[in-house]
Amino acid sequence: MSEIRVRNATGAALDDVRLTAPGGRLSLGPLASGAVSSWHPVGAVHRYPTVEASGPGIDLMHLPFDGDAQADLPAGRYTYVLRLEGGRLVVGLEED
């Protein structure tokens, strides 16, 4: 079993953050700029999740490359870090 959370490093307040993990879809609710969500148990963790986020005047989406099968990461605690680069949502991963 693993746990995941999300840190908002976009510089913008996000009204809604949704992450699709191997076990299903998680709704993390609002995340202020710089805030970190609570931990969520998941059956498996992938390096590149699908992330959807929205805020005042912005709708963001990060999709993993469709042609690559992703192996499960070792069990542990992981933080997905949401950033904006050139107006695009980028998702980093930190092992905690």
Question: What residue segments make up the domains of the chain, in order of their start?
Answer: 2-95
Tokens of 23: 């076990």
Q: What is the pLDDT of residue 66?
A: 66
DSSP 8-state code for residue 6: E
Q: What is the pLDDT of residue 64?
A: 84
**Looking at the whole model, is its pTM more than 0.75?**
yes
**pLDDT averaged per 10 residues in sequence order, the chain, 96 residues:** 95 94 86 96 91 92 78 93 94 94
Q: What is the pLDDT of residue 61?
A: 94
Domain 2-95: top CATH class: mainly beta
Q: For tokens 């980093």, what's the residue?
A: 92
Q: What is the pLDDT of residue 69?
A: 76
